[in-house]
């Protein structure tokens, strides 16, 4: 239950980090390392986001609701032989 809010929070933090890095890039004109530190924060947040999504998919808390996923499940079910009584 905590996975979806965590994903939203990480995405918001990524956008905030992107905005602050852009602001520092325009303000400092490349004279300081604040933009570089912002890149490090964004990479760390992106790695955490990928990790949370992978964990959610592995544990089954995140599932795909794409139309082609349901079609593939029906196709796989019809391809399996029925058990003999």
Q: Is residue 84 part of a domain?
A: no
Query: What predicted TM-score, i.e. pTM, was given to this entire model?
Result: 0.73
Q: Is residue 37 part of a domain?
A: yes
pLDDT score, position 83? 66
> 40 — phi, psi (to 5°)?
-60, -40
64 token code pair: 């795909």
Domain containing 50 equals 3-79
Q: Is residue 73 part of a domain?
A: yes
Total domains present in the chain: 1
Q: Is residue 85 part of a domain?
A: no
Cβ distance 45 to 13 under 8 Å? yes
Cβ distance 3 to 62 under 8 Å? yes
Task: List all residues 6 or more positions away from 19 whose beta carbon is below 8 Å from its beta carbon.
Answer: none
pLDDT score, position 32? 85
Q: Which residues of the chain have pLDDT under 50?
A: none
């Amino acid at each position: 239950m905590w996975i979806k809010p965590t994903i939203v929070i990480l995405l918001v933090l990524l956008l905030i980090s992107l905005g602050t890095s852009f602001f520092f890039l325009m303000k400092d004109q490349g004279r300081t390392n604040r933009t570089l530190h912002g890149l490090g924060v964004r990479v760390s947040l992106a790695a955490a986001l990928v990790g949370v999504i992978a964990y959610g998919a592995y544990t089954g808390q995140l599932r795909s609701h794409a139309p082609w996923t349901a079609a593939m499940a029906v196709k796989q079910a019809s391809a399996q032989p029925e058990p003999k009584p």
